[in-house]
Amino acid sequence: MLPEKTIQRLSKYRRLLANYRYVREPYIFSHDLARLLNLNPVQVRRDLMLIGSPGNNRKGYNVNELIELITKVIDTGKNTNIIIVGFGRLGQAICNYLNEHQEFQTVVAAFDVDVNKINREFPGVFCHDIGKIREIIQKKQVAIAVLTTPDDFATDMANILIESGIKGILNFTSVQLKTEKSVYVKDFDIITTLEEIGYFASIM
């Protein structure tokens, strides 16, 4: 198992390389990769060595080969299907953003309780009744859920997700989810993060 920080950097390398692929050279130097992401070149070379990339001092790294290699490491050949749970403004925005910017994971369904949203096709995704969530998670072999429900429903929804086989949750609610060993949870509460920034910014 690789450390969290290494996975995060590999993800950033892959994204940059994927953009690079379309517009520039078939090769990239580690110092360019480092410069574009504001990282230390030694760190970049160490990461790429760690995942077994040979590199090439004269020409740099082959962009396509490096993308493939990183994909093998971080996607581990498993499925990377995502669902959005709670299809309000934030859920819809995240869905659109992922559809436009994320080529290595796929949003396969959205869920809500609002009758005006359910059984409707939205740009890039179909919104289902929340009651169908277990069935669709299993049918589409979903691994990851983005949780953007109102806070009141967060705990119950998380339990349903975990019972249905979800292994990873990105939690945008302000509710602390009970940590289960069988699921990997990352919390991101935008408002709390901004208030934390406000506090530390104000005392600087």
CB of 191 to a copy of itself, least distance (A): 5
- Buried b / exposed e across 160-185, counting CB within 10 Å, b at 16+? bbbebebebbbbbbebebeeeeebeb
Piece in contact with a copy of itself (CB under 8 A), picked from 25-33, 44-52, 110-118, 183-191: 183-191
CB of 135 to a copy of itself, least distance (A): 20
Q: Does position 28 bind a copy of itself by CB under 8 A?
A: no
Q: How far is CA 107 from the centre of its chain?
A: 10
Q: Does position 164 bind a copy of itself by CB under 8 A?
A: no
Q: Does position 27 bind a copy of itself by CB under 8 A?
A: no
Q: Enumerate residues 6+ apart whose C-beta is below 8 A from 46.
A: none
Considering only residues 144, 147, 157, 162, which one is a binding residue for a copy of itself as defined by CB under 8 A?
Answer: 144
The mark string for 81-120 relative to a copy of itself (x by CB under 8 A, - otherwise) is: -x------xx-xxx-xxx-xxx-xx---------------
Q: What is the DSSP letter of 196?
A: H
What is the size of the binding site for a copy of itself (CB under 8 A)? 68
Give the CA diameter of the chain. Answer: 60
Backbone torsions φ then ψ of 53, nearest 5 degrees: -85, 130
For the chain, the first-to-last Cα distance in angstroms comes to 38
Concatenate the DSSP letters of all residues of 106-124 into one string.
EEEEEEES-TTTTTEEETT
Token readout for 115 is 């009758």
Residues at the site binding a copy of itself, with contacts judged by CB under 8 A = 1-2, 4, 7-8, 11-12, 14-16, 36-39, 74-76, 78, 80, 82, 89-90, 92-94, 96-98, 100-102, 104-105, 143-144, 146, 151, 155, 167-170, 174-178, 182-184, 186, 188-204
